[in-house]
Amino acid sequence: MNAGGGDDDDTLIAAALGGDNAAFSKLVSRHKEPLYRFVRRYVGDADESFDLVQETFVASWSALAAFERGRSFPVWLHRIALNKCRDWSRRRHVRRFFFGAAPLEAADRMPATPIDDGPHQARLAALDAAVATLPAALKEPLLLTVFDGMSQAEAAHLLGISAKAVETRVYRAKQRLRDALGDRDDTGD
């Protein structure tokens, strides 16, 4: 419900900083779905994604006083989530090294078990698996711009790279996805 007076992010942040827990709950409700979609596409695992989104909101609550007013709250949340995803990825690599956990790259060799047996569901599962195997330098700009709708400038600021670098990396990520999914035509851009 964004229509009510004073219900924008800045107002809710100010109220939350003033001790209004319900205001922070509204922020969580407003931003949890897009944040979950971002994290889900990044890590490729629903349960891990749920945990990482929770960790993101706990960290954002702890750091809310450091949030710079006038900046984009969703971009700030994505930055925290991105750091949580990167930490998760590092932990996964270490765990795989020590305990032999299956790498994410093995996802394309595992049988797909889509929720629905329709061809679209199988195609989406294949896309999720392909996105999960992209290197972080390509995956992050792709997820932020194409899937989450950030501008190249916002993604560039969040990632600490130039807008042109974002554009180039998104292009390369799309090329890799086309190759991985067997799409040889350019109609799906």
What does the domain layout of the chain look like in residue ranges? 1-101
- Cα–Cα distance measured from residue 7 to residue 108, given in angstroms and rounded to the nearest whole number: 44
- For residue 106, pLDDT over 70 is answered with no
Say which CATH architecture domain 1-101 belongs to: Orthogonal Bundle (1.10)
Residue 145 C-beta-side C-alpha neighbours within 13 Å: 25
Q: How many secondary structure helices (H) and strands (E) does the chain include? A: 8, 0
- Cα–Cα distance measured from residue 93 to residue 71, given in angstroms and rounded to the nearest whole number: 33
- For residue 180, pLDDT over 90 is answered with no
| Residues 52-105 pLDDT 10s | 999 999 999 999 998 888 888 999 999 999 999 888 887 776 555 555 544 544
| Residues 21-37 pLDDT 10s | 999 999 999 999 999 99
- Cα–Cα distance measured from residue 101 to residue 36, given in angstroms and rounded to the nearest whole number: 24
- Cα–Cα distance measured from residue 35 to residue 183, given in angstroms and rounded to the nearest whole number: 28
- Global pTM value: 0.61
